[in-house]
Amino acid sequence: MERNSIYARNNWQTAVEKLGFGFHTAEIPYWKEDACYEFTLAEITLIEKATAELWGMCLEAVQHIIDHRLYPLFAVPESAVPLIEKSWNEDAPAIYGRFDFGYDGNELKLFEFNADTPTSLFEAGIVQWFWLQDFDKSKDQFNSIHEKLIAYWKYLKPYLFDGTVHFACVKQSLEDLTTTEYMRDCAIQAGLETKLIFIDDLGWDDSQKVFVDMEDQMVSNVFKLYPWEWMVKEPFFEQMLKQQEMYWIEPAWKMLLSNKAILPVLWELFPNCPYLLPTYTEAENPLKNYVKKPLLSREGANVQIVRGDFITAQTKGIYGAEGFICQQIFESKSFHGTTPVIGSWVIGQEAAGIGIRESNKLITDNTSCFVPHLIKG
């Protein structure tokens, strides 16, 4: 893996906005194309293999958690357990997830799994692909995200409940809306009937015991870009147990995989896996040099890097009440102080492509940048 400095396209902002990418710049550019990452085919094969194997391990881990009722480790409220187990036992539809890897040029290691509400999907599937067509269309990318999303929606179509598939997110986030509308567009291309609804506008018909949209249409299939740890605290959560014929996508069992408590469970189950770092609950941590992460933090919030008795880096935030895990430090390959994290997508049970986010900080946070990639050759 190499980081190459290149020239950005003239008026690249206009080019990405034509694709519907409206959040390319905040205080600093989030999308960067004055550089790109170049991978060998062997490195891509390694990422693809690791993604497929870890996905299989994660499914085994979910069954292990349910069998041994390890829910307290995940700070899952007791009221959520029936929904988790129902969605797992009924094989409720699940579309996607993103494994975040560190890579030192030799070893690939899992940092965490964004299994419930992963973002950067649109950038990885669409924006960087069109960048490549302008930069050098003779090159290739590890990127079948768009095709696999459409194909998997087609596969799921006969298994969903009859009627519309609603696509839901919060009103205040352009990034969430873009990701949700992109996923919706893939479903439309797969031949499904769809409708956008904001989480805030989801209603409940108590006479029929069903969720409804703003036009009183029953909501029986809903893709939601809204995390389960928030949903279990919503006033409507208890009503979710009452509607029998309904799919939430991603399903409730994904709240186990999106929780960083899955990392010590994976380490306990698969200690010889070459892609896993030694990881423990805070209470059982024997490590001297480690990264301390809240179970439910987002965008690198409330993370500490600990070496010996000293905190060498940390971020602020609102997370941590549910507890922490401690993961062995892994030194990823750095390029002049810039460190990439490889986000590897699993879609429809298959590895589907990567997106790179980089940061000049020790902890990747919400100021990191998305940088496109290509395959050498």
Name the pLDDT band for 182 (thresholds 50, 70, 90). very high
State how far the Cα of 1 lies from the Cα of 10, in Å rounded to an integer. Answer: 26
Sequential DSSP letters for 83-120: HHHHHHHTT----EEEEEEEE-SS-EEEEEEE-SS---
pLDDT at residue 344, rounded to an integer: 98
pLDDT per residue as tens digits for the range 114-143:
999 998 999 999 999 999 999 999 999 999
pLDDT at residue 361, rounded to an integer: 82
Tell me: cis bond preceding 299? Omega within 30 of 0 counts: no
pLDDT at residue 244, rounded to an integer: 82
pLDDT at residue 105, rounded to an integer: 94
Contact residues for 251 (Cβ-Cβ < 8 A; gap 6+): 87, 88, 92, 93, 94
Share above pLDDT 90 across residues of the chain, in percent, rounded to a whole number: 84
The answer to whether 160 and 167 are in contact (CB under 8 A) is no
The pTM is what? 0.96
Q: What tokens appear for 45 in the block? A: 């094969």
Buried b (16+ CB within 10 A) or exposed e, 229-247: bebbeeeebebbeebeebb
pLDDT at residue 377, rounded to an integer: 77
For residue 16, the surrounding DSSP H or E stretch is helix 12-18
pLDDT at residue 158, rounded to an integer: 95
Q: What tokens appear for 276 in the block? A: 């896993």
pLDDT at residue 115, rounded to an integer: 96
Q: What tokens appear for 182 in the block? A: 């992109």
Name the pLDDT band for 161 (thresholds 50, 70, 90). very high
The mean pLDDT of the chain is 94
pLDDT at residue 23, rounded to an integer: 87
Q: What is the mean pLDDT of residues 172-185?
A: 94
Q: Is the dihedral of CA 15, 18, 21, 24 positive or negative?
A: positive
Name the pLDDT band for 299 (thresholds 50, 70, 90). confident
pLDDT per residue as tens digits for the range 335-375:
988 999 999 999 999 999 999 999 888 788 777 899 999 99
Name the pLDDT band for 227 (thresholds 50, 70, 90). very high
pLDDT at residue 243, rounded to an integer: 86
pLDDT at residue 238, rounded to an integer: 86
pLDDT at residue 300, rounded to an integer: 81
Q: What tokens appear for 253 in the block? A: 């069992």
The answer to whether 243 and 222 are in contact (CB under 8 A) is no
Q: What is the mean pLDDT of residues 242-258?
A: 94
pLDDT at residue 29, rounded to an integer: 84
State how far the Cα of 371 lies from the Cα of 229, in Å rounded to an integer. Answer: 30
pLDDT at residue 291, rounded to an integer: 96
CA torsion angle 169 172 178 181 (round to 10): 40
Name the pLDDT band for 61 (thresholds 50, 70, 90). very high
pLDDT at residue 246, rounded to an integer: 93
